[in-house]
Amino acid sequence: IYIRGEYTLAQQRVLRAIEQAHEMGFLGEHIFNTDFSFDLHVHSGAGAYICGEETALIESIEGKRGEPRSRPPYPTTNGLWDKPTLVNNVETLANVPQILRHSAEWFRSFGTASSPGTKVYTILGNTNVTGLIEVPMGITLREVIAIYGKGIKDGKSFKLAQTGGSSGSIIPASLQDTPMDFDSFSKAGVSLGSGALLICNEDTCVVDLARVLLNFFRRESCGKCTPCRIGTQRAYEILTNISEGTGELQDLTDLMNLSDNLYQLSNCGLGQTAGAPIRDIMNYFRAEVEAHIRLKVCPTGICPMSGKRI
């Protein structure tokens, strides 16, 4: 079980659960006096975001620098210690006991035909209530905000949501009635991601949000491939120029080219999704972005609009 280094509480709980499983005879040698033996080992990462990519995770477990491998070969044939390896997200494994207990048909009774089951979401941001929820696939963003988030704080308007953490999509209010399942979101041109839901109100500046996200990606890039290493840095610099009032219209073309290059040329999913914030703000909030350049004004008043061009 691979757990990110910062998640110390999660590590403590998993280690305690393994200890209890040993005490009850569920793990170890000759389980329940049979010939079957099985054990679990917890490996703590050092905090690198890139190690969420399966081959970088495998490299980390082997004691190497967390960098994605070139594929093929794939982990299913040459994975951990060059053995066939299956890497699963913990949410997938958490569904297995319930499916075994109740049947696959029971599991498919939740959600949609193309995306059956439930999904765990983390509600963050400008809602009155934040936290973890588990809901059927196909629920809408509007329903999540109203039912589980208890609305937007201070009676303000919903502007956008970012799904799936930094590598997810920026979802405008116009898509808040789109069913949140993989098929519907794919048709809408956005990504559901891992399940984090950052809910943002009318005071959020999309340029500032994209700049913060690109700052994250440039810091978390492992640096192995040039498109990601240089592309995320340059995109961050351009967004910084725009946010400080020194942006030019050519910057918008350059940003879109960088977004395309990141997606097409990066070695792994981190770089391939790093340009998503750029694509989304240009698709859904272009007028707001252009106001920073044409009018030298941040409509939300967030950006300083006073700086030197990088």
Any idea how long the chain is? 310
Per-residue confidence at 156, pLDDT binned at 50, 70, 90?
very high
Second CATH level (architecture) for the domain 118-201: Roll (3.10)
The average confidence (pLDDT) of the chain is 96
Q: How far is it, in rounded angstroms, from Cα 42 to Cα 40?
A: 7
The CATH number of the domain covering residues in 2-88: 3.40.50.11540
Q: Specify the pLDDT at position 265.
A: 96
Q: What is the mean pLDDT of residues 222-232?
A: 96
Q: Average pLDDT of 95-104?
A: 96
Q: Which residues contact 141 (CB under 8 A, 6 or more apart)?
A: 161, 171, 175, 176, 177, 178, 180, 197
Q: What is the predicted pLDDT for the residue at 167?
A: 87
**What is the topology classification, in CATH, of domain 207-294?**
de novo design (two linked rop proteins) (1.20.1440)
The pTM for the full model equals: 0.91
Through-space distance between the first and last CA atoms of the chain, rounded to whole angstroms: 43
CA dihedral 51, 54, 60, 65 (to 10 degrees): -70
- Give per-residue burial for 139-176: e unless 16+ CB within 10 Å, then b: bebebbbeebbeebeeeeebbbbbbbbbbbbbbbbebb
Give the tens place of pLDDT for each residue, 29-86.
999 999 999 999 999 998 899 999 999 999 999 999 999 999 999 999 999 999 999 9
Rg of the chain over Cα atoms, rounded to whole angstroms, equals: 22
What average pLDDT score do residues 196-225 get?
Answer: 97
Tokens coding 46: 């050092």
105-128 confidence digits (pLDDT tens): 999 999 999 999 999 999 999 999
Q: Place 310 in a pLDDT band, splitting at 50, 70 and 90.
A: confident
Residue 63: predicted pLDDT:
95
- Retrieve residue 83's tokens: 């053995």
Instruction: Give the residue extent of every domain in the chain.
Output: 2-88, 118-201, 207-294
Which of 190, 194, 264 is CA-nearest to residue 231? Answer: 264
> Residue 307: its pLDDT value, please?
76
pLDDT beyond 80 at 270: yes
Q: Which residues, 6+ apart, have CB-to-CB distance to 149 below 8 Å? A: 123, 127, 128, 129, 130, 199
